[in-house]
Every structure is written in structure tokens, then in C-alpha cells.
């Protein structure tokens, strides 16, 4: 790493150093797994206070953005209270120049998504309050004006479950569902016909939904069961 221009220190089998990029200084930890022929790299972005917790909306946005990244992915280190950007690199014939290029690429990804993680300061658990979801509107009305659904949306239930949905203009989607602190991610194709929205996952699971939208930054999604009955209604708000 010295050859690549860094000042590393060793700690429990890992190499630690700091990387300057734009206006940030990112702590980086790299561990070589010889048997797996790979290098695990963790770039820490935010270290939260001991009594703080990351809000669901921020975590969902980061998890949704993972599906749009190549190689690197965002994660929350619960034990050390850190939001990190991680990547697994090949250890085969790797050179200092390649390592530095990979780190610059990772830091550039962090910079592009800084509008999400840089605003995170954490909320003390003792002060955290549950927020009730927006009031549901009545049954979907096909006469409602049609707004674009492209973008990232979030919704929550009084049970504590939370959802993040990213709809891309090219007809793809990413959906993150958080329940009891665990996140489930799915992605696939999305089609819309009037107020009917169909999400067809890469796992072959299809969600047939109805959209009710009267304003540009909010919409209600009614997810139907196999018999066509409404199984759940989610009130989504567009992420800013």
C-alpha cells in the first residue's frame, strides 16, 4: 500500500489507512483472504454516536442504491456503528496501481451517494419516536391524473415494517423490505397500464398492484393477492 501512496498500519491481520477524496478523509480497512483469492475492502463513511441509530429511510435508500452499483455496496456495521462502503477485489496478480484505481472508484461512488449518507447523524434511541404513515386515500380512481413514478419512494407501516421502492424509467425496479431489522431485496421488470402496476421479479415472483396518485410526490400502492383482492396498502412518499 505504501507503493500506492498510502500510509498503512497493520491490526489483527488487516491493513488500515486513510484515503483523501474530494472534501472527505475515508478510513479504509483491507483484509486478504488467501484461500478465497480475494481482498475484502471496507471504506467507513460515517461513525455514529454510541446511543444513536440509523433511521430507516436512510438505510433503505442506501440498500436500494446497492442494486445500481457495480461491485461496491453499502452496509451498516451494527457493532461499530458505522455506515460503510464495501467491495471484494481479486487478489490474483494485483498491482498497487490496480488497488489504487479500485479505491478511487469506490471513493467516487461514495461521493456520488453522499447526499444520502453525509446527512446522517443518527437519532438517539431515547428520543426516537414512531411516525404514523400518511392517511390512506379511498379506493383507487382511474380518473386521477397520471404522474411519473420514476424515482425512489419509501413507505412504512405502524408495525415497524418499512419499504423502499426504486422505479427506473427504463422499466426496472428495486424493492427493499425491512422487518425486525432484517432487509430483503428484490429486483426485476415493471410495467404500467393506466393505474395498474405489475412488478415481475427476477425470482419469478409477480406483484399485481393498483396505483392511486393525486399528487406528484405521493402515491398509494394496493398490492393484490392471487384472487385479486387487496392484501396490503402502502402509502409511498418520494425521497428528496
What's the pLDDT score for residue 199?
93
What's the pLDDT score for residue 34?
87
pLDDT-based confidence at residue 124 (cuts at 50, 70, 90): very low
What's the pLDDT score for residue 70?
57
What's the pLDDT score for residue 133?
38
What's the pLDDT score for residue 39?
92
d(CA 136, CA 122): 29
Query: Mean pLDDT throughout 10-38?
Result: 89
What's the pLDDT score for residue 138?
45
Query: Which residues is 92 bridged to in the sheet?
Result: none
Residue percentage of the chain with pLDDT more than 70: 80
Quick one: 18 exposed, middle or buried, by C-beta within 10 A (0-12, 13-18, 19+)?
middle
Q: State whether residue 216 is helix, strand or coil.
A: coil
Element (H, E) at 104: helix 96-112
pLDDT in tens, 158-210: 888 888 888 988 889 988 888 877 778 888 999 998 889 999 998 888 999 99
Q: State whether residue 34 is helix, strand or coil.
A: coil
What's the pLDDT score for residue 54?
67
What's the pLDDT score for residue 196?
92
Query: Mean pLDDT throughout 206-224?
Result: 91
What's the pLDDT score for residue 114?
85
Domains and CATH numbers, the chain: 9-124 (3.30.1460.10), 151-238 (2.40.128.280)
d(CA 6, CA 65): 29
Amino acid at each position: 500500500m505504501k507503493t500506492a501512496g498510502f500510509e498503512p498500519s497493520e491490526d489483527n491481520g488487516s491493513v488500515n489507512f486513510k484515503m483523501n477524496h474530494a472534501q472527505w478523509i475515508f478510513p479504509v480497512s483491507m483484509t486478504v483472504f488467501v484461500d478465497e483469492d480475494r481482498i475484502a475492502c471496507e471504506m467507513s463513511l460515517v461513525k455514529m454516536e454510541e446511543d444513536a441509530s440509523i433511521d430507516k429511510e436512510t438505510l433503505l435508500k442506501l440498500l436500494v442504491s446497492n442494486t445500481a452499483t457495480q461491485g461496491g455496496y453499502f452496509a451498516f456495521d451494527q457493532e461499530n456503528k458505522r455506515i460503510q462502503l464495501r467491495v471484494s477485489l481479486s487478489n490474483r496478480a494485483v498491482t498497487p496501481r490496480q488497488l489504487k484505481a479500485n479505491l478511487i472508484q469506490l471513493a467516487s461512488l461514495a461521493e456520488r451517494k453522499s447526499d444520502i449518507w453525509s446527512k446522517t447523524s443518527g437519532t438517539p434511541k431515547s428520543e426516537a419516536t414512531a411516525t404514523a404513515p400518511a392517511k390512506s386515500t379511498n379506493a383507487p380512481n382511474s380518473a386521477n391524473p397520471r404522474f411519473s413514478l420514476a424515482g425512489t419512494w419509501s413507505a412504512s407501516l405502524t408495525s415497524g415494517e418499512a419499504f423502499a421502492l426504486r422505479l427506473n424509467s427504463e422499466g426496472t425496479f428495486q424493492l427493499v423490505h425491512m422487518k425486525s431489522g432484517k432487509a430483503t431485496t428484490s429486483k426485476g421488470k415493471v410495467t404500467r397500464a393506466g393505474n395498474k402496476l405489475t412488478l415481475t421479479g427476477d425470482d419469478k415472483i409477480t406483484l399485481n398492484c393498483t396505483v392511486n396518485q393525486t399528487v406528484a410526490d405521493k402515491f398509494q400502492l394496493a398490492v393484490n393477492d392471487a384472487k385479486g383482492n387487496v392484501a396490503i396498502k402502502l402509502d409511498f412518499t418520494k425521497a428528496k
